[in-house]
Structure 1
């Protein structure tokens, strides 16, 4: 069971990162929070980009750790780093609109 969780951890972290980034964007675009951020001259874009970069750093660390921590060549040991890399690339592409698009349109 632990090997299966280790193998799926990259995709689980991608799902968490996706939910965190776009949930945070929805929260920052809500009328209650946007009133606070406009008074502070802060639109929350820096927070979104920082969250995206933090998630990318976490997934890259996980990919390297799973790649170096392989002890035997079983399917789940081989699948762990591949799915962690897939989660990294998915986070890169699904979080990229946060960087290039406006925060609230």
Structure 2
């Protein structure tokens, strides 16, 4: 894994998860969701499952960045990648939490 990937992948995954979760919420609140015969309860389940999957992916990335196989030979890059992995994990939990705690389709 190159150093630029070690540094950029966790934040990129957070951005993709953010877009996916809120895009899915838009689909759930549209007529397409109900037209497919799905309920808002199923939509909530899909949102929470996507949120949990995003958190699990961030944790897996953080563990991988700390492993010998994917660790950087440069201590500075290793520390930066670990810090950014932690930041991306916190951002994933915090910014996607409303899908699990607030009302849908206001």
Q: TM-score normalised by the shorter chain: which range applies?
A: 0.7 to 0.9
Distance 2:22 2:43 in 1: 12
Q: Which structure 1 residue ranges, 5 or more long, are not aligned? A: none
Distance 1:27 1:98 in 2: 13
Q: What is the aligned-residue RMSD (CA, Å)?
A: 1.8
Q: Which structure 2 residue ranges, 5 or more long, are not aligned? A: none
Kindly report which structure 2 residues correspond to 1:67-78, keeping only aligned pairs within 5 A, or say none: 67-69=66-68, 70-78=71-79
Conservation of the 8 A alpha-carbon contact between 2:3 and 2:72: no
Aligned to 1:93: 94
Conservation of the 8 A alpha-carbon contact between 2:21 and 2:51: yes
Matched residue of 2:73: which SS? coil
Deviates more, 1:56-65 or 1:2-11: 2-11
Tell me how many residue pairs correspond in the alignment: 103
Q: TM-score, normalised by structure 2?
A: 0.86
CA distances 1:36-76 after superposition (whole Å, capped 9, x unpaired):
224xx744100100000001001001001101232534322
Distance 2:47 2:84 in 1: 24
Consecutive aligned runs of 4 or more in structure 1 exceeding 4 Å deviation: none
Q: TM-score, normalised by structure 1?
A: 0.87
Conservation of the 8 A alpha-carbon contact between 1:62 and 1:84: yes
